[in-house]
Amino acid sequence: MKNRVGRIIVAILALAAFGFYAYRYEQTHWHSADVEAWGPATGLHPEGFEQGVVMNQEPEAPIQMEYAPAPTEQPAAPAPTEQPVVETVPTEQPLRFDLSEWQYMLVNGDHSIDQYEPENLVYLNMTADETDFQTSFNPNRIAVDARIAQPLMDMALACKAAGLPVYLSSGYRSYADQAANFTRVCQNNGITDGKDSNGHYITMPAGCSEHQTGLCCDITDYYQATKNSSLDDIPTLVWLRENCADYGFIWRFPSDKSDVTGVMGESWHFRYVGQDAAHYIMDNHLTLEEFWQQFGDSASV
């Protein structure tokens, strides 16, 4: 009996030893041989291992390398392109003007209108004692573009209503008239280019006179054989400077803007541009040239 019991114990011990050995073998050899073969198919161990390896070695470093430069480069790149854009926007433009409209026509020593003629002329009484508009040529009246006849007459009547005399001395002049005018003034002053000693026009070459548009008028109190700076402060012209914008007219050649207009100061020359533009120009003491620079295509000025 003792031997049988002893053999049983030995057998149990042997089985236990084999079992323990088998368990240990499984523990130590399981991964190395099989994990790549079937592990990925199960999706269990490989993920765990890959995550462990990848997360510890790669993810954080490359992400920082890629994103770190970005925050510093992104603001730097757009900045230079945005700044110039911002600088062109801030100019205050409470009003917008379509400078292709007829009342903004620009004529000066650099902008000839060549043989331009107004489509419709109207003939006005010079002293505004008669307020009718004649459409047939009348040498005893002045001609203007029909589109400014009403505002010009309204302004003349308002000036007279303020107790001041008005004399509409010169309106539309044709290309031929201006050519003759230019020759005569040049001869009288011993010049050939129509300019005074400061380089400012005292008479414009044909095609370059605003009078050829029919959109302006020389206005004094009475007939004046000679127009010069002695007229600057006569009450009629003072009143006109203060009130012309209400009728759509501007003081076209201010004495202190000769370098801009190229024309000597002419306190008697008023140009129609419409009420909105006239108020803007007179309120800001601008010239038509400066108005074009602000609201037009600078390349065409």
Q: Which of 107, 218, 239, 254 binds Zn ion (CB under 5 A)?
A: 218
Q: How far is the CB of 211 from Zn ion (least distance, A)?
A: 6
Per rule CB under 5 A, is residue 195 in the interface with Zn ion? Answer: no
Q: Which of 269, 271, 277, 278 binds Zn ion (CB under 5 A)?
A: 269
Q: Number of C-alpha atoms within 13 angstroms, CB side, residue 190?
A: 1
Per rule CB under 5 A, is residue 173 in the interface with Zn ion? Answer: no
Per rule CB under 5 A, is residue 182 in the interface with Zn ion? Answer: no
Of 69-77, 94-102, 222-230, 265-273, the segment contacting Zn ion by CB under 5 A is 265-273
The Cα–Cα gap between 295 and 287 comes to 12
Q: How far is the CB of 275 from Zn ion (least distance, A)?
A: 21
- Give the residue closest to Zn ion by C-beta: 269
Other CB atoms within 10 A of residue 173 CB: 22
Per rule CB under 5 A, is residue 271 in the interface with Zn ion? Answer: no
Sheet holding 266-272, edge to edge: 167-170, 216-220, 266-272, 249-253
Q: How far is the CB of 301 from Zn ion (least distance, A)?
A: 21
Rounded (5°) CA angle 281-149-267: 45
| 84 CB-near residues (< 8 Å, 6+ apart) | none
| Closest among 156, 147, 110 to 300, alpha carbons compared | 110
Q: How far is the CB of 255 from Zn ion (least distance, A)?
A: 14
| 144 CB-near residues (< 8 Å, 6+ apart) | 121, 122, 124, 152, 171, 172, 214, 215, 217
Per rule CB under 5 A, is residue 241 in the interface with Zn ion? Answer: no
Per rule CB under 5 A, is residue 171 in the interface with Zn ion? Answer: no
Q: How far is the CB of 217 from Zn ion (least distance, A)?
A: 8
Site residues, Zn ion (CB under 5 A): 218, 269
